Amino acid sequence: MSDKIPHQPSCADPFEEDMISLSEALTRIEGRVVPVHACERLPIRQCLNRVNNEAVKSPLNVPPLPNSAMDGYAIAIDSLVADSIVELEEIGSAYAGVPFMQDCGPGQCVRIMTGALIPSGTDTVVMQEQVQLGEDGRIRIDSDHRAGENIRQAGEDVQRGEIVLEAGVRLNPADLGVLASLGLSQLQVKRKPVVAFFSTGDELMPVGKPLEPGMIYDSNRYSLYGMLKHLPVDVLDLGVVRDDEAELERVLRGAAETCDAIVSSGGVSMGDFDYVKVVLDRIGDMRWMQVAIKPAKPLAFGRIGGVPVFGLPGNPVSSMVSFELFARPALRAMSGHAEIDRTCIRADVVGGLPRHADGKVHFARVGVEVVDGRFRVRSAGGQGSHQLTAMAAAGGLAVLPDGDGIPDGGEVDVLLLGCVGSFHTCPLLTL
């Protein structure tokens, strides 16, 4: 956790006196989330982006035997004479997968293709561009060559017994290629955490039906589904849970028995009905937090047994920002991933990002572009916690410290949404 997140003073809101800083909220979560220790053995194609559970040692040399790095002619370097051109007899050809099986003697050479095994009796490959063909079919080669030229030696890439993949590594496409080159068809990887998620509220209607007065469509569950599907987790959609104490308890207890984490949306704000609070306080060990950020100030986090529970706010943008800041890095850590942070970049502001001082860090939804090698950001639209269209248009979250915002032409730290990597450490947010 970063010690660079600034202190946020309290505000006049009657609940604001209990606000905690972003860094404190992150610390409360970090200490109570542990990686899933279970593992499974899978075909290597299914291991892409999974976390390796065991160090892998090579069972063989790669390449297993010396082979040619070029199309040309395999010769014995002793066949050459200093400052002279020699003529050699071509006695056969060697191809990748079809080696030349005879010995190559003095005064002889073998036509060889890239990847073919080096024939017995030869120790050098001369590129075909560096030889001349005599009228009698013999090969003419000068003396300007060295032993071992254009030969890939056995074990040059990987030596037998060498560790080629450490435990705890997220597997990329090249890793799969390395495993395949060693003849390994399966690998033991960390099991994906199973994450249950649901929305709460009697006012929620399923999409596809006519909207009734006073009701809203259940959009949060679709956003949560999309964000969870981008993580190395398996998801369990529990639908909409109505404002019924017994039903909430049944759903939460069932999820805690079968899943590794639970994410809910709604029922954590000060003005919400307290069904979620009552049930979670009864069956779990929860912390109800007011975090000094905007949006996504209310946050519930705790555990039912050993299962982490993330209670996100019900406003659509608040739910997504809260997921990004708190649930996403924790779930990636549970998956065994070392890289849990969003990429943070420094960007130039176009048009300004105004705000007012209120004791909170603001996360403004911004569009992101690269112009002349520099990142530029501008507001993605309305910044209300209900304005989901700006969130949909955003390429990042601009981190605005308490104050009056960032003027046109100023610089700001931005968490890139949907990007992986690290340009530099964001001074306001390091998970």
Which tens digits make up the pLDDT trace of 28-48?
Answer: 999 899 999 999 999 999 999
Amino acid at the residue 198? F
Q: What pLDDT is stored for residue 395 in this prediction?
A: 95
pLDDT grade for 4, boundaries at 50, 70 and 90? very low
Average pLDDT in the chain:
90
* pLDDT of residue 204 exceeding 70: yes
* pLDDT of residue 421 exceeding 80: no
Q: Which of 299, 293, 414, 296 is nearest to 359 (CA)?
A: 293
> Residues 204-231: what's their mean pLDDT?
94
> Residues 221-237: what's their mean pLDDT?
96
pLDDT grade for 430, boundaries at 50, 70 and 90? very low
Q: What pLDDT is stored for residue 418 in this prediction?
A: 58
DSSP character at residue 327: I
pLDDT grade for 268, boundaries at 50, 70 and 90? confident
Q: What pLDDT is stored for residue 137 in this prediction?
A: 81
Instruction: Report residue 272 as tokens.
Output: 């919400």
pLDDT grade for 272, boundaries at 50, 70 and 90? low
Contact 190, 332 (CB under 8 A): no
- pTM of full prediction above 0.75: yes
| Cα dist from 368 to 33, 112, 376, 414, whole Å | 32, 53, 6, 9
Percent of the chain with pLDDT over 90: 84
How far, rounded to the nearest angstrom, does the alpha carbon of residue 141 sit from its chain's CA centroid?
A: 52
**pLDDT per residue as tens digits for the range 288-299:** 999 999 999 999
Contact 68, 114 (CB under 8 A): yes
Domains of the chain: 16-38+191-334 (3.40.980.10), 40-62+163-190 (3.90.105.10), 67-152 (2.170.190.11), 344-416 (2.40.340.10)
* pLDDT of residue 422 exceeding 60: no
> Residues 136-161: what's their mean pLDDT?
94
> Residues 343-368: what's their mean pLDDT?
96
pLDDT grade for 136, boundaries at 50, 70 and 90? confident
Q: What pLDDT is stored for residue 273 in this prediction?
A: 58
- Output the 3-class SS for 80-133: CCCCCCEEEEEEEEEECCECCCCCCCCCEEEEECCCCECCCCCCEEEEHHHCEE
pLDDT grade for 386, boundaries at 50, 70 and 90? confident
* pLDDT of residue 205 exceeding 80: yes
pLDDT grade for 2, boundaries at 50, 70 and 90? very low
Q: Which of 16-25, 211-220, 397-406 has the lowest mean pLDDT?
A: 16-25
Contact 93, 111 (CB under 8 A): yes
* pLDDT of residue 425 exceeding 80: no
Cα separation, 150 vs 27, in Å, equals: 56
CA quadruple 271, 261, 236, 23: dihedral sign: positive
**pLDDT per residue as tens digits for the range 62-85:** 999 999 999 999 999 999 999 999
Percent of the chain with pLDDT over 70: 92
Q: How many CB atoms lie within 10 A of CB 49?
A: 14
Q: What are phi and psi of 330, to 5 degrees?
A: -65, -40
Instruction: Report residue 157 as tokens.
Output: 């890439």
pLDDT grade for 1, boundaries at 50, 70 and 90? very low
Containing 366, the helix (H) or strand (E) segment is strand 361-371
Q: Which of 4-13, 108-117, 122-131, 222-231 has the lowest mean pLDDT?
A: 4-13
* pLDDT of residue 139 exceeding 60: yes
Q: What are phi and psi of 156, to 5 degrees?
A: -65, -35
Contact 327, 381 (CB under 8 A): no
| Pure H helices in 263-315 | 275-283
Give the residue with greater pLDDT, 275 vs 322: 322
